[in-house]
Amino acid sequence: MYRILIVDDERIEREGIQQLIQEHHLELETLLAANGEIALEILQKHKIDILITDIKMPFMDGLELSEKVSSLGLDIEMIIFSAYHEFEYARRALRTNISNYLLKPVHIPEFLSVVSEAIQACEDKAAEKMRNEQLVEGYNRGLLYEKEKMLLDSLNGVKINTEAWMSPELLEYVQHKHWLHMILVDCRRKFFDIHNDEFIRLLHDNLSYAFDYVNLSEHQSMLFIKHPRPVPKETLRMLGDQIIRAAAGSLELNVGLVIGRAVNQPEQLYDAYTEMEQMLEFKFFMDEYTLLFADEPFEQAGFDEIELNPILDKVYQCLEYNDFTGAKYSIELLFTYLRTKGQFSSLYTKFICSEIMKKVVTREKNRETAEMNHYLEQIHKTVSLQDLKDHMFAILSLMESVSGASPKKAANLKLIRTITDVIDKEYDQDLSLEGIAERVYLTPSYLSYLFKKETGQSLIRYITQVRMDKAVELLNTTNMKIVDIYKKLGYRSSTYFIQTFRNYHGVTPARFREGSP
């Protein structure tokens, strides 16, 4: 809705125009002023789209007011109205920024025509403004795309054609106007493909430096800090810590950072990026919240066979005699050795674990071999030492479960009873495969496999079954509202609960209650 200011020293005149606007349902918000001085104060405090002003008024007349509006640079549709004997005076005003005029007494059809023209002019200006904003937005999007392409090409070693980058925003790179520090942001879970905009907002909220940003993959993004001089290392360290803390706090995201050396030419980005990628090799052995500098390389340690071989021999011996408890203990010693002896090649670390698992797989020729091969593949997909250790223990637990030992069968059944008891008692909580696995000290993948093997249905299906049975009970025996029932059953969304109920029982909860005895 547009806003109109009516200025006249006679109250009956300005209120009469206001009444005309209301009677003819013109979509205008009206403000009133008794003279030019009061009107000017209103114009300086509020956005006014249309101004109707009398010519002759005390303190400041309408023409002087129109000149003040022009001097302030206000884009307003101005209409003057005056008596017939002031007509020539009013016509001279049209040579300024007045867009139209009305004669007193106001003739209603003429008034409606003039005001409608003013409203249409406002709409035309709004449409033109929107078109201009869209053009600017499109230009900026294209510019952003070109800048991201240039940066990505530089990271991949593609030579930059200086003549192709003529805009000031891109020439700043090829003309060496500033130094760049690249910060590689690495996340172990998939994040940047969906939440990239959220992370960019976080950077704008927490960084005082100018920067550019490109998304590399669902797990990685690159930040380019721009500064006239190389940024001191301690400042970069504080900057990195701030990004890590902000991501953990507002996004609940654990990230690791690798900060590259300062460069001031696009062709230097490729070598600097290669150094940063090599540092990620060592992140495999570290916990979350890792901050590394590419110019502070770690000394890659070698395996000491005198120390390592006895540990591996113990693992193999335990496996030979089906001593899975001893094998797990020896695996624990192996990972303690890997973690405390320095930084190794993650590839060689996975190779050692794969060799252990090959011995596990080749000693079993039953129907579970395909499942074990699946776990073997997972070794090479692990992203951290802890992740690798979890997979090793999961595979050993799988071996133990299919070994045919009756005590193990009883232990599995007891474990399943523990899990079902938890679900039966805590169905109203936020249950998840990961949360339950953590409580019974198993990996989620192994728990899922074991539960399906022992019960014939998935863990998630069992949780749904318990909740759906409880939903039927509440619908049949209580007057509880459906909006309260879904919360009682541990669901966060009523829509998801209703859809699940329909899939399970064939009707919505409301229809079920109507048809229940």
Q: Identity (one letter) of the amino acid at 33? A: A
**DSSP line for 468-503:** HHHHHHHHHH----HHHHHHHTT-S-HHHHHHHHHH
Distance CA 293, CA 229 (A): 18
How many Cα neighbours within 13 Å face the side chain of 449? 18
Query: What is the pLDDT, as a whole number, of residue 126?
Result: 87
Task: Using pLDDT thresholds of 50, 70 and 90, give the confidence band for residue 405.
Answer: very low
The average pLDDT across 274-299 equals 69
The conformation of residue 452, written as its DSSP 8-state character, comes to H
Strands 220-227 and 210-215: antiparallel
Query: Residue 55 pLDDT more than 70?
Result: yes
pLDDT digits (tens, 9 = 90+) for 341-378: 655 567 777 878 888 877 766 655 544 555 556 666 77
Mean pLDDT of 12-23: 91
Q: Which tokens sit at 273?
A: 């990026």
Band (pLDDT 50/70/90 cuts) for residue 165 is very low
- The three-state secondary structure class of 505 is helix
Of 182, 346, 175, 193, nearest to 274 by C-alpha is 182
pLDDT at 89: 62
On whether the CB atoms of residues 11 and 35 are closer than 8 A, the answer is no
What's the pLDDT tens digit per position in 113-145?
Answer: 999 999 999 988 888 888 776 665 655 555 556
| E strands present in 288-433 | 291-293
pLDDT in the model for residue 367: 44
Residue-level pLDDT at 267:
78
Question: From its phi and psi, is residue 515 left (phi > 0), alpha (psi between -120 and 50) or beta?
Answer: alpha
Tell me what percent of the residues of the chain surpass a pLDDT of 90: 13
d(CA 356, CA 353): 5
DSSP element (H, E) containing 4: strand 2-7
The predicted-structure confidence for 454-509, as pLDDT tens digits, reads as follows 888 888 899 999 999 999 999 888 888 888 888 888 887 888 888 888 888 888 88
User: What's the whole-model pTM score?
Assistant: 0.43
Return the higher-pLDDT residue of 58 and 360. Answer: 58
pLDDT at 20: 92
pLDDT at 328 over 50: yes
Determine contact, residues 93/66, Cβ cutoff 8 Å: yes
pLDDT for 514? 81
Residue 407 pLDDT class (50, 70, 90 cuts): very low
Residue 98 is given by DSSP the state -
Split at pLDDT 50, 70, 90, the class of 318 is: confident
Strand order in the sheet with 50-54: 28-33, 2-7, 50-54, 77-82, 100-103
Using DSSP bridges, classify how beta strands 220-227 and 179-187 pair: parallel, antiparallel or unpaired.
Answer: antiparallel
Please give the structure tokens belonging to residue 391.
């997979």
| Radius of gyration of the chain, Cα coordinates, nearest whole angstrom | 37
